[in-house]
Amino acid sequence: MRRKVIFRNRWLPYLLLAPQLGVTLVFFIWPSLQAVWQSFLREDMFGLSSTFVWFDNYRVVLADPGYMAAVRRTAVFSVAVALAALMPALLLAVMVDRMLKGVAFWRTILVLPYAIAPAVAGVLFLFMFNPSVGVVARMLTAAGVDWNPRLDGTDAMILVVLAAAWKQISYNFLFFLAGLQAIPKSLLEAAAIDGAGGWTRFRTIVLPLLSPVTFFLVTVNVVYAFFDTFGVIHAVTQGGPAKATEILVYKAWYDGIIATDFGRSAAQSVILMIVVIALTAVQFRYIDRRVQY
């Protein structure tokens, strides 16, 4: 039974919530409302006056082949980032989980990348993969791979995916490790006695029991790829070459700030916002479906 503590004071809860509410209001709700308002307006070319145009901006955006190309690109990008961030994380977590000693040490080491700002990570990758001076680029060239992310769109995409994914590996690793350590060892022992080898145990016991964690991480990583990768893209490719890495969040920024079409940029932002709200809702809906031991 859970007991509720009841405070008679009516305004204390609001007072306690006020700072958090204030921050949310100033930095999230207010700009969001502005974006929504902006998305219904069209400015004249000098930015002197604006007219209310209802859903015109949305119509223009959704009819734009360039926008639809960015949607497809974003889908590829987020799936690739999620995969590139989840698979190595799971592998590392399984390896650390198997260790009897040094778990704390490796956990700390593997979490460090998460402390690095996305833009810094981007510059790091840019440097490593720079065709003329980068260590990795040189190795690739030596191995006979024609590597040039500045000219080749696919190379550029691979580069931003790696740059965006690598710090998420830390985050995913932590969750996978916690998930693995929550699986009672006796289940794996029972499976071993039932005749299951290592791979069968992983496939039939570990993966299913880990699935709530995996689901949570997939949504988190997709949301991350949608929104939090601006810094990486900006530092590494600026959306190029020839828009090959221009994902939605980058395009919204580009169209608004560089091309100064505020109405269309705002409409794009609002669409992105709706997508993220939907993804988060799905995640909250399913997060409580935990496995019970």
Partner 1 sequence: MATVGIRAVRKRFGGNEVIRGIDCDVADGELLVMLGPSGCGKSTLLRMVAGLEPISGGEVAIGGRVVNAVEPKDRNIAMVFQNYALYPHMSVFDNMAYGLRIRGLPKAEIAGRVRAAAEMLELAPFLDRRPKDLSGGQRQRVAMGRAIVREPDVFLFDEPLSNLDAKLRTQMRVEIKRLQTRMGVTSLYVTHDQVEAMTLADRIMVMNAGLAEQVGTPAEVYARPASVFVAGFIGAPPMNLVPVQVGGGSAILPDGARLALPAGAGQGARAATLGIRPEHLQPDPLGPVRMTVDLVEALGADTVVHGRLAGGTVLLARLPGDAAVRAGDALALAAPPEALHLFDPGTGRRI
Shorter beta-carbon distance to partner 1: residue 121 or 191: 191
Q: How far is the CB of 182 from partner 1 (least distance, A)?
A: 11
Shorter beta-carbon distance to partner 1: residue 211 or 280: 211
What single-letter amino acid sits at 109?
I
SS (H, E, C) 106-131: HHHHHHHHHHCCHHHHHHHHHHHCCC
Q: How far is the CB of 52 from partner 1 (least distance, A)?
A: 54
- Site for partner 1 contains 288 (CB under 8 A): no
Shorter beta-carbon distance to partner 1: residue 90 or 205: 205
- Site for partner 1 contains 100 (CB under 8 A): no
Looking at the DSSP bridge assignments, the partners of residue 50 are 43
Sign of the CA dihedral running 29, 36, 220, 249:
negative
Size of the site for partner 1 (CB under 8 A): 20
Q: Which two tokens stand for residue 247?
A: 């994902």
**How far is it, in rounded angstroms, from Cα 280 to Cα 293?**
26
Q: How far is the CB of 293 from partner 1 (least distance, A)?
A: 5
Tell me how long the chain is.
Answer: 293
- Site for partner 1 contains 289 (CB under 8 A): no
Q: How far is the CB of 187 from partner 1 (least distance, A)?
A: 5
Shorter beta-carbon distance to partner 1: residue 146 or 189: 189
**How far is it, in rounded angstroms, from Cα 169 to Cα 147?**
24
Q: Compute how many other C-beta atoms are within 10 angstroms of the C-beta atom of residue 63.
A: 9
Shorter beta-carbon distance to partner 1: residue 109 or 291: 291
Give me the 32-51 binding string for partner 1, x by CB under 8 A, dash otherwise: --------------------
Q: How far is the CB of 211 from partner 1 (least distance, A)?
A: 8
Q: How far is the CB of 53 from partner 1 (least distance, A)?
A: 53
**How far is it, in rounded angstroms, from Cα 24 to Cα 47?**
29
Choice from 52, 54, 199, 293 touching partner 1 (CB under 8 A): 293
Span 178-237, contacts to partner 1 by CB under 8 A: 184, 186-187, 189-197, 200, 204-205, 208-209
**How far is it, in rounded angstroms, from Cα 180 to Cα 139?**
35
Q: Which two tokens stand for residue 274?
A: 């709706």
Looking at the DSSP bridge assignments, the partners of residue 52 are 41
Q: How far is the CB of 107 from partner 1 (least distance, A)?
A: 23
Q: Which residue has the tokens 């006056």?
A: 49
Whether the CB-CB separation of 199 and 267 falls below 8 Å is answered with no
Shorter beta-carbon distance to partner 1: residue 56 or 97: 97
**How far is it, in rounded angstroms, from Cα 254 to Cα 86?**
29
**How far is it, in rounded angstroms, from Cα 99 to Cα 169?**
19
Q: How far is the CB of 202 from partner 1 (least distance, A)?
A: 13
- Site for partner 1 contains 144 (CB under 8 A): no
Question: Which chain residues interact with partner 1 by CB under 8 A?
Answer: 184, 186-187, 189-197, 200, 204-205, 208-209, 291-293
